A and B are shown apart, each in its own frame.
Chain A
Amino acid sequence: MTAGATLFEKVWNAHVVQRFDGDRDLIFIDRHVLQETTSAAAFTGLKRNGRPVVHPELTLATQDHIVSTEPVRDETSNPGGLELMRLMRANAAAHGIRHFGIEDPRQGIVHVIGPELGAALPGLTLACGDSHTATVGGLGCLGIGVGTSEVEHVLATQTLLLQRPKTMRIRFDGRPGPGVAAKDLILAAIGKFGISAGRAHAVEYAGAAIQALPVEGRLTVCNMSIELGARLGVIAPDDATFQYIAGRPYAPRGQDWEAALAEWRTLASTPDAVFARDVAIDCAGLAPQVTWGTTQEDVIGVDGRIPDPATYGDRDRRQRAAAALRYMDLKPGDAMEGLKVDIVFIGSCTNGRLSDLEAAARVARGRKVAPRVRAIVVPGSAQVKREAEAQGLDRVFLEAGFEWRSPGCSMCVSINQDVVPPGQRCLATSNRNFENRQGPASRTHLASPAMAAAAAVTGAITDSRKLAT
């Protein structure tokens, strides 16, 4: 029955409630995760139409985007966010939805807590009013990012009416060298294929370099599917995945576990599966990646030089690159390495998990944050924070002069108080380097956690492999 099917098709097809014309399917949603900035209007819509939440028991809510990340905090620590935080809390309470507020030991960024709690599982569909929902694809779960109308649609029906995405595979061939992280793999792929390469596609990441990644690295890769323009991204679950999931709070147990495991082992794309698009990238010899411009495809190895827009054949691309260089205050031919930074941000749903903080700490240990540099570490969840503290990573960072903050989206989206001042240059482990993303006139370079730590302690963009211990 599953001969010739891709992982994506197997999971998608198992969730089709009804097919419609125009390649549209009504898809059942197994898990729905809510955050405070994209759900308030959805609840208002439900109320206006007198509609209930049909499956509150399959729904989770948290506060992450607008919360303060002060080390000691409560809802009032960011007064500007109070309205949305209180609405999330009140709406969850009114509908019997479990809510992990700012004070809860399970609070964290939506895409970090889904996998961490065992709410995201292989073979499931998970929707969230946030574009980085594809993160959970790292477990073989279809993560569908939606807007607020769709949040309301899921609340009211536990389904989504969606255009069926086309299939695409990106094979990561060859073995990347030591010190090259999951973030570097996905940035390199975005650089090679472009920010709209995946539009209307579900992308499967495959190949030796992906299989070799630990589960948290796979979450990082799938996280940036939206930066490829894709609808979602997935990676075939394997024994490493199953080990990661076993024993998590909402993971199946006992007989359920056995049944789930048996199904999960059948999910991988069959060898004869055909993808509408099939491309490959060679990871051997890849250097740590850093973005230089204002889209994620503007990326080079840390050992590279800022490209000259004049060399681009396409006029539109040429103009965009020239504008990006002006915005970023860079000149063609400048070396990427050695570029001074003002701020370093380690965190976000891309790189705010324990292994990310470990990688950064390995570079930071025994060193000092350069004078004039502000470096902040923001764990992706309260659990990540606890686990890091149990290992003493907070001490490593604090002794080196980093700030050790409370979990949230923080400087990734800068809608709380964590903002990059105008004109300052920030090396960030997050996923968007758009103009003004981290604050008006902020300049963002995206890179891995080790690269971020290296920039913090040297005060400039530095090949983290030189500081490896």
Chain B
Amino acid sequence: MRKPFTAFRGIAAPLPLSNVNTDAIIPSDYLRSETTDLARGLFGRWRFDAEGKERPDFVLNRPPFRRAEILFAGENFGCGSSREAAAWALQRFGIRVVAAPSFADIFYENAFRNGLLAAVVAPDDLAAMVAALEAHPDDAQVEVDLASQTLVRGNAARIGFQVPAFRREALLRGDDEIAGTLRHVETIGRYVADDRARRGWAHRAIAPKENP
């Protein structure tokens, strides 16, 4: 089980770029080992220059956004490779919610499977939120309430977001998806038995025992 996703209030950072790809979210240098510092790697090439020094103009290097827990981003966030490290890096940095008008398919799946909320917001709401955060960085606290599917900045605008009901429930409960599927293990067994009878050729081993 994962920790259930409860309502919280945190700093929101604007990153209004579309098509932010997973190579940008976590550069491949950080995929070379199981133990790399993914928090440092997040948006590595945007946050740090070739010498490893911070680029002061990048949003996550500026106060208060250095402590961001929520990211407002443009369309098709997370496109490119399937690397789940993109979701992990966001989380290690401290991001718990990415709000965008749309997400790439695999990233979207990966996010929820790790308890990261990928919230779909209307483009106009995104634009207004980004403008507000850029104009008032001193007022960047946003409250996230998954149960009512709302994001509220300070005392100002409240915007809604979309999330499929089953994903919302799973996040709120902190479900482990594998455990959920294993509850259907008998149904899977029946499927395999039936399908073996129907399509025996498809079930022949591709890893014969004599050569493991």
Contacts and interface: CB of A to CB of B under 8 A. Distances in A.
A158 B182 CA distance: 10
Interface string B28-68: 11011110000000000100001000000000000000000
Interface string A141-155: 000011111101100
A162 B195 CA distance: 20
Interface of A: 14, 17-18, 20-22, 24, 26, 28, 30-31, 37-38, 40-41, 44, 49, 51, 56-60, 65-66, 80-81, 83-84, 87, 93, 96-98, 117, 119, 121, 123-124, 129-131, 145-150, 152-153, 156-159, 161-163, 195-196, 199-200, 226, 229-231, 250, 252, 256-257, 259-260, 263, 295, 316, 320, 413-415, 422, 432, 434-437, 440-441
B87 interface: yes
Contacts of A145: 82, 106
B79 A153 contact: no
Q: Which size bracket describes the interface of B in this complex?
A: 35 or more
Nearest to B27: A436
B178 A49 contact: yes
A359 to B, nearest CB: 26
Contact of A59 (B27, B181, B207, B211): B207
A256 B76 contact: no
Contact of B75 (A163, A196, A415): A196
A84 B28 CA distance: 14
Given A28-B191, A57-B206, A22 B164 contact: yes
B83 interface: yes
Interface string B11-39: 00000011101011001110111100000
Given A56-B207, A84-B33, A159 B181 contact: yes
A131 B27 contact: no
B157 interface: no
A172 B109 CA distance: 31
Interface stretch (B90-98, B132-140, B146-154, B196-204): B196-204
A259 B34 contact: no
B202 A30 contact: yes
Interface in B171-194: 177-178, 180-182, 184-185, 187-188, 191-192
Contact of B207 (A65, A96, A146, A147): A96
B82 A320 contact: no
A199 B34 CA distance: 30
A93 B201 CA distance: 26
Contacts of B114: 149
A141 B53 CA distance: 47
A148 B110 CA distance: 8
Contact of B19 (A60, A195, A252, A257): A195
B201 A28 contact: no
Contacts of A252: 201, 204
Interface string B86-124: 010000000000000010111001100110000000000
Given A17-B191, A146-B109, A150-B113, A26 B181 contact: yes
Most A-side CB within 10 Å, residue of B19, B102, B202, B212: B202
A147 B82 contact: yes
Contacts of B75: 196, 316
Most A-side CB within 10 Å, residue of B33, B50, B74: B33
A434 B23 contact: yes
